[in-house]
């Protein structure tokens, strides 16, 4: 079966908290997303309470002119949520730490920090197939913000345990909470593909690609599904797109690693010169004490 835990990737979070002209969620979910009614009503506070931070920021900006402190916090929270959705929990923790202005009545800031710590344990535990450890971490979630991520992980765990029915229930629950959860959508397609619903799988993969065209796994699995239907041309096209996106992702990660390496090398060079200066200072002091200079 297509491995539901092999979808790690590092992507830039969607910029749906800035620069938009209408408070509309992306993708096919826009037509059925009940959050859109809250946006039309200008109810940004409810949207924020429900974890739809990008949409809340757009609504606040368009209907109330915007409050800089609140907008900055909502933008940061939107990026945190997107990074968690993409399994980049350490980056999400770093982004959360950079939210300097935190309106106390906006969200449960301590609860979100605790939830990120729990997910930092749960996500790699699922990937390692250490399911008891993952479950123990997931039950520690304190807020409603990461419910979709919890359900997506529970779906993956059900796949590992060989329970496709429970997996479908969990992935669908995740999508009710977050219609743009590309991993849950792709993994639901994986379950459908392996249980014989090839057309349903193709629909899920294509919707996932509309939400995030850079997700190589969705392209790859779409190619597999088309091959099972005997559509070789579409299969080859999808697989080639998967290869291109995977190569681009690997190149971006390599550049990021090189950048970190350069920063580390520079830091080590600075520390070396600092050490030389300290030694020289000690020698100078010792010579002065002896009256040599």
Distance from C-alpha of 190 to C-alpha of 160, rounded to nearest angstrom? 12
Residue range 21-44: mean pLDDT, rounded: 63
Greater pLDDT, 184 or 254: 184
Mean pLDDT value across the chain:
81
pLDDT (tens digit, 9 = 90+) per residue, 17-28? 333 333 334 444
Beta strands in the chain (DSSP E): none
Share of the chain above pLDDT 90, in %: 56
Greater pLDDT, 28 or 184: 184
Share of the chain above pLDDT 70, in %: 73
Beta strands in 139-236 (DSSP E): none
Cα angle, residue 6 at apex, residues 209 and 188 outer, rounded to 5°: 50
As a whole number of Å, the CA-based R_g of the chain is 24
CB 51 within 8 A of CB 144: yes
- When mean pLDDT is compared across 41-45, 182-186, 218-222, the lowest value belongs to 41-45
User: What pTM was computed for the model?
Assistant: 0.73
Residue range 143-162: mean pLDDT, rounded: 95
pLDDT band at 293 (very low <50, low <70, confident <90, very high): very low
Does the pLDDT of residue 209 top 50, yes or no? Answer: yes
pLDDT (tens digit, 9 = 90+) per residue, 188-203? 999 999 999 999 999 9
40: nearest Cα among 62, 70, 20: 62
pLDDT of residue 73: 94
CB 60 within 8 A of CB 92: no
Greater pLDDT, 197 or 41: 197
């Amino acid at each position: 079966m297509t491995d539901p835990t092999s979808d790690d990737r590092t992507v830039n979070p969607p910029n749906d908290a800035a620069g938009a002209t209408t408070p509309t969620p992306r993708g096919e979910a826009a037509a059925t997303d009940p959050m859109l009614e809250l946006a039309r009503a200008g109810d940004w506070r409810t949207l924020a309470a429900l974890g739809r931070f990008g949409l809340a920021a757009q609504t606040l900006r368009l209907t109330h002119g915007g409050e800089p402190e609140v907008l900055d916090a909502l933008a940061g929270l939107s990026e945190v949520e997107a990074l968690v959705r993409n399994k980049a929990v350490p980056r999400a923790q770093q982004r959360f730490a950079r939210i300097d202005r935190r309106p106390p009545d906006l969200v449960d800031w301590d609860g979100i920090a605790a939830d990120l710590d729990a997910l930092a344990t749960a996500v790699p535990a699922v990937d390692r197939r250490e399911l008891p450890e993952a479950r123990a971490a997931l039950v520690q979630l304190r807020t409603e913000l990461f419910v979709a991520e919890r359900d997506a992980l529970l779906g993956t765990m059900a796949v590992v345990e060989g329970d496709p029915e429970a997996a479908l229930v969990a992935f669908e629950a995740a999508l009710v909470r977050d219609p743009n959860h590309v991993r849950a959508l792709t993994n639901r397609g994986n379950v459908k593909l392996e249980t014989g619903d090839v057309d349903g799988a193709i629909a899920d993969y294509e919707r996932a690609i509309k939400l995030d065209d850079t997700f190589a796994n969705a392209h790859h699995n779409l190619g597999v599904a088309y091959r099972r239907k005997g559509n070789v041309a579409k299969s080859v096209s999808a697989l080639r797109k998967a290869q291109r996106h995977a190569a681009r992702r690997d190149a971006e990660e390599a550049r990021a690693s090189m950048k970190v390496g350069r920063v580390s090398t520079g830091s080590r060079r600075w520390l070396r010169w600092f050490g030389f200066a300290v030694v020289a200072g000690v020698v100078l002091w010792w010579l002065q004490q002896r009256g040599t200079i």
